[in-house]
Amino acid sequence: MDKDASVKKYTLIVAVMASFLTPFMGSSINLAIPSIGQQFNSSAVLLSWVVTGYLLSSAAFLVPFGRLADIVGRKRIFLTGIIVFSAASLTCGLAWSAGSLIIFRVLQGVGSSMIFGTGMAMLTSVYPPQERGRVLGINVATVYVGLSLGPVLGGVLNHNLGWQSIFFLVFLIGMAVAAFTAFRLKGEWAGARGEKFDLAGAALYVVGLVTFMYGMSSVSSHKWEIYVLVAGVVILGLFVKYELNVDHPVLNMRLFTGNATFAFSNLAALINYSATFALGFLLSLHLQVVLGYNSQAAGLVLLSQPVIMALLSPFAGRLSDRVEPRVVSSLGMALTTAGLLIFCFLSKEMPIWLIILNLGVLGTGFALFSSPNSNAVMGSVEKRFYGVASSTLGTMRLVGQATSMAVVTLVVTLYIGNVELEKVNPDMLVKGARAAFIIFTALCLAGVFASLKRGNVIPGPSVRETVNK
pLDDT tier for residue 461 given thresholds of 50, 70 and 90: very low
Q: Is 253 within the bounds of a domain?
A: no
Q: Is 71 within the bounds of a domain?
A: yes
Residue 44 pLDDT exceeds 70:
no
Residue 220 dihedral angles phi and psi, to the nearest 5°:
-80, -15
Note the pLDDT of residue 438. 94
Question: What are the start-end ranges of the H helices in 195-294?
Answer: 199-218, 225-243, 254-257, 260-276, 279-285
Please count the structural domains in the chain: 3
Q: Give the alpha-carbon dihedral of 362, 363, 365, 371, to 10 degrees.
A: 150
CA distances from 18 to 135, 141, 372 (A): 14, 12, 20
Decide if 277 contacts 59 (C-beta within 8 A).
no
pLDDT tier for residue 77 given thresholds of 50, 70 and 90: confident
Q: Is 116 within the bounds of a domain?
A: yes
Whole domain around residue 312: which residue ranges? 258-469
**Same structural domain, 54 and 158:** yes
Decide if 170 contacts 20 (C-beta within 8 A).
no
The string of pLDDT tens digits covering residues 183-242 is: 877 766 666 666 788 888 888 988 988 888 778 767 666 677 788 888 988 998 898 888
**Same structural domain, 341 and 228:** no
The string of pLDDT tens digits covering residues 125-138 is: 777 777 767 787 78
Positive or negative: CA dihedral 244, 77, 374, 166: negative
Classified as helix, coil or strand, 246 is coil
The string of pLDDT tens digits covering residues 259-313 is: 788 888 888 888 988 888 778 778 877 887 788 877 667 777 877 887 888 788 7
**Whole-angstrom distance, CA of residue 96 vs CA of residue 42:** 12
Decide if 22 contacts 146 (C-beta within 8 A).
yes
**Same structural domain, 94 and 125:** yes
**Whole-angstrom distance, CA of residue 104 vs CA of residue 88:** 6
The closest alpha carbon to 404, from 18, 55, 34, belongs to 55
Q: Is 18 within the bounds of a domain?
A: yes
**Whole-angstrom distance, CA of residue 335 vs CA of residue 361:** 7
Residue 24: give its domain's CATH number.
1.20.1250.20
**Same structural domain, 41 and 132:** yes
**Same structural domain, 338 and 232:** no
Q: Is 250 within the bounds of a domain?
A: no
Residue 171 pLDDT exceeds 90:
yes
**Same structural domain, 423 and 300:** yes
The string of pLDDT tens digits covering residues 441-450 is: 999 999 898 8
**Same structural domain, 190 and 267:** no
Residue 344 pLDDT exceeds 90:
yes
**Same structural domain, 103 and 4:** yes
Q: Is 374 within the bounds of a domain?
A: yes
The string of pLDDT tens digits covering residues 345-399 is: 998 889 999 999 999 999 899 888 887 888 788 777 777 677 777 777 877 887 8
Note the pLDDT of residue 441. 95
**Same structural domain, 464 and 390:** yes
